[in-house]
């Protein structure tokens, strides 16, 4: 077989601060929207829960609640165990480790006069540990959390002031870590603001008549913040690369009925809107009719279009877990962000996510054709329940199958001319689920002894997939068996 993966291909794994770190309010960290997320659990497995709107009363209740279980406050205690965890990643041969920085760990209220030195020092130590092992940090500046103070005082990204606070936060990171971090992402799954208005947008539901309009306005502010951040990054760290991050929703037409095909084209437009703005630097014309039909009027101020044009990203990173089907039929199945019509050709995970490795290749080809910028697959993986045997082994052949089939397709896409920077499967170490706050929905190569009730020793155990991925990396993707 031809050599497919380039020599500098960045193999690794991905995580996010709010699902991993724990150390809630420790060393000066402020409240984050993620800290108010209750455990939801198994009954909600096939529902989309990230998008639950929160009112001020609900948030204030969560802040005082002594009885509820809030797993994201505890994560898997990476804050105190990062050395052990990064050493295990190094043992697998990671070239890169995707992690996010918690904004309220750096600016507890989001807009403080001075950054929190203890928070900055923590990430210094994490990056040093990575670099010691030859692992390049890949840092997401904002991943599904937001300083709660800014949500309560100015309704998050709905306020234009949030742009300045965010850019100051990003600038602080660039100045501090310029010698350590060369790969950056602005907003995780920026297109999901429509589903995570509270979690990532900091928008409270109170008093908002048109939530859709609010989310697109907030999205406009994120676009501006992202563009200004990209510009700052290039000024402060000239040898860095900074990308956008899209939750890619490959949507097949249900049939060859032109109406179904049109539905899939429109689904692409709604998804690619975000990358069109961040890569091409302007709003695409197709959104005008969508905004008109939905009564969305965005406050675009003088100079905004120049900012967008001057702050385009260097690469397109994306998450891909599954494909979807759109059309007239109503048969629903689950999904990480949206439900979809069932695809009779595909199997699904226990959570109803339709497993489609070829869909990854399709989507990579489509995106590369559209933009001709390098791609980076920064999330992909299978959430599954693992069983620990008596001799403390985890035989996760199902996870190996899923990842092998997807890597195979990435290799083929590369052979077919798609430029790819790297691959970081999601939740390389088991962590708290973003949507349901479960622990039992595991993605990792490394098992963490912690259950849905927050009980366990937190011991880390290598799964079968750990040794398999180690071999994949060692052979640069040539040996997938």
> Which is nearer to ligand BG6, 28 or 194 (by Cβ)?
194
Per-residue b/e over 67-87, b at no fewer than 16 CB within 10 Å? Answer: eeebbbbbbbbbbebbeebbe
Kind of pairing between the strands at 420-423 and 10-14 = parallel
- Please tell me which residue in 129, 250, 379, 438 is annotated as part of the active site: 379
Region for residue 155 given its phi and psi (left: phi exceeds 0; alpha: psi -120 to 50; beta: otherwise) = left
User: Is the CB of 47 or the CB of 154 nearer to ligand BG6?
Assistant: 47
The distance of closest approach from Cβ of residue 434 to ligand BG6 in the complex, given in angstroms and rounded to an integer, is 3
- Crossing angle, helix 357-371 and helix 397-415, to 10 degrees? 30
3-state secondary structure 114-131: CCCHHHHHHHHHHHHHHH
For the question of residue 21 being annotated catalytic, the response is: no
Taking the least distance from each CB to ligand BG6, the nearer of 307 and 378 is 378
Q: Are 448 and 429 in contact (CB under 8 A)?
A: yes
Q: Count the Cβ atoms, other than its own, within 10 Å of residue 195.
A: 22
- Closest-CA residue to 222 (of 277, 276, 173): 277
Q: Is 115 left (phi over 0), alpha (psi -120 to 50) or beta?
A: beta
In the complex, minimum distance from the CB of residue 190 to ligand BG6, in angstroms, rounded to a whole number = 11
**At its nearest, how many Å lie between ligand BG6 and the CB of residue 160?**
26
Rounded Cα distance between 19 and 385, Å, is 17
> Which CB atom, from 162 or from 196, has the smaller least distance to ligand BG6?
196
Cα Rg of the chain (Å, integer): 21
Is residue 450 helix, strand or coil? Answer: coil
Which of residues 142 and 435 has its CB atom nearest to ligand BG6 in the complex?
A: 435
CB of 448 to ligand BG6, least distance (A): 14
Calpha distance 379→426 (Å, rounded): 5
CB 168 within 8 A of CB 227: no
Structure tokens at 403: 């990842």
- Report in angstroms how near the CB of residue 108 gets to ligand BG6 at its nearest: 22
* Strand-pair category, 340-341 with 96-100: unpaired
- Which residues fall within 8 angstroms of residue 159, CB to CB, at 6 or more apart? 150, 221
Per-residue DSSP letters for 78-99? HHHHHHHHHHHHHHHT-SEEEE
CA distance linking residue 273 with residue 222, whole number of Å: 13
Quick one: 20 or 414, whose CB is closer to ligand BG6?
20
Instruction: Judge whether 189 counts as a catalytic residue.
Output: yes
User: At its nearest, how many Å lie between ligand BG6 and the CB of residue 53?
Assistant: 18
Q: Which residue is nearest to ligand BG6 (CB)?
A: 435
Q: How far is the CB of 24 from ligand BG6 (least distance, A)?
A: 18
Please give the structure tokens belonging to residue 433. 């689920």
The single residue of 145, 189, 250, 254 carrying the catalytic annotation is: 189
CB nearer to ligand BG6: give 260 or 379.
379
Nearer to ligand BG6, 105 or 232 (CB): 105
Q: Closest separation between CB of residue 436 and ligand BG6, Å?
A: 6
Binding site residues, ligand BG6, CB under 6 A: 16, 19, 144, 188-189, 247, 319, 336, 379, 383, 426, 433-435, 441
Query: Which active-site residues does the annotation give?
Result: 189, 379
């Amino acid at each position: 077989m031809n050599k497919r993966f380039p020599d500098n291909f960045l193999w690794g794994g991905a995580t996010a601060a709010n699902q991993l770190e724990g150390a809630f309010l420790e060393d000066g960290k402020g409240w984050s929207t993620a800290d108010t997320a209750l455990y939801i659990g198994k009954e909600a497995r096939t529902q989309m829960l990230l998008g639950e709107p929160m009112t001020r009363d609900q948030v204030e209740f969560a802040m005082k609640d002594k009885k509820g279980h809030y797993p994201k406050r505890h994560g898997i205690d990476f804050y105190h165990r990062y050395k052990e965890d990064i050493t295990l990643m190094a043992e697998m041969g990671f070239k890169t480790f995707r992690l996010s920085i918690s904004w309220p760990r750096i600016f507890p209220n989001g807009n403080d006069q001075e950054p929190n030195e203890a928070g900055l020092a923590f990430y210094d130590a994490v990056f040093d540990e990575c670099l010691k092992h030859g692992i390049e940090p890949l840092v997401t500046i904002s991943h599904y959390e937001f300083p709660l103070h800014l949500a309560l005082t100015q309704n998050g990204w709905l306020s234009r002031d949030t742009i300045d606070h965010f850019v100051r936060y990003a600038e602080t990171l660039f100045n501090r870590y310029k010698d350590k971090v060369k790969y950056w992402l602005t907003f995780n799954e920026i297109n999901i603001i429509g589903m995570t208005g509270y979690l990532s947008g900091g928008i409270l539901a109170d008093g908002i008549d048109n939530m859709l309009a609010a989310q697109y306005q907030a999205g406009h502010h994120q676009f501006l913040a992202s563009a200004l951040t990209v510009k700052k990054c290039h000024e402060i760290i000239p040898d860095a690369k900074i990308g956008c991050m899209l939750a890619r929703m490959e949507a097949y037409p249900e049939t060859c009925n032109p109406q179904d095909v049109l539905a899939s084209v429109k689904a692409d437009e709604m998804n690619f809107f975000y990358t069109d703005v961040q890569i091409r630097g302007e709003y695409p014309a197709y959104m005008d009719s969508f905004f008109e039909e939905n009564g969305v009027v965005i406050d675009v101020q003088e100079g905004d279009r120049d900012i967008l044009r001057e702050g385009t990203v260097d690469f397109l990173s994306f998450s891909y877990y599954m494909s979807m089907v759109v059309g007239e039929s109503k048969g629903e199945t689950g999904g990480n962000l949206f439900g979809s019509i069932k695809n009779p050709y595909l199997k699904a995970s226990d959570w109803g996510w339709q497993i489609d490795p070829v869909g990854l290749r399709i989507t990579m080809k489509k995106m590369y054709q559209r933009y001709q910028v390098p791609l980076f697959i920064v999330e992909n993986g299978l959430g599954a329940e693992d069983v620990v045997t008596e001799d403390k082994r985890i035989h996760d052949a199902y996870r190996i199958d899923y990842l092998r089939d997807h890597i195979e397709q990435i290799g083929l896409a590369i052979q077919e001319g798609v430029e790819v920077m790297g691959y970081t499967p999601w939740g390389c170490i088991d962590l708290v689920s973003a949507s349901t706050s479960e622990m039992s929905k595991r993605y990792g190569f490394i098992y963490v002894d912690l259950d849905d009730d927050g009980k366990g020793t937190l011991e880390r155990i290598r799964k079968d997939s750990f040794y398999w991925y180690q071999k994949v990396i060692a052979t640069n993707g040539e040996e997938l068996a």
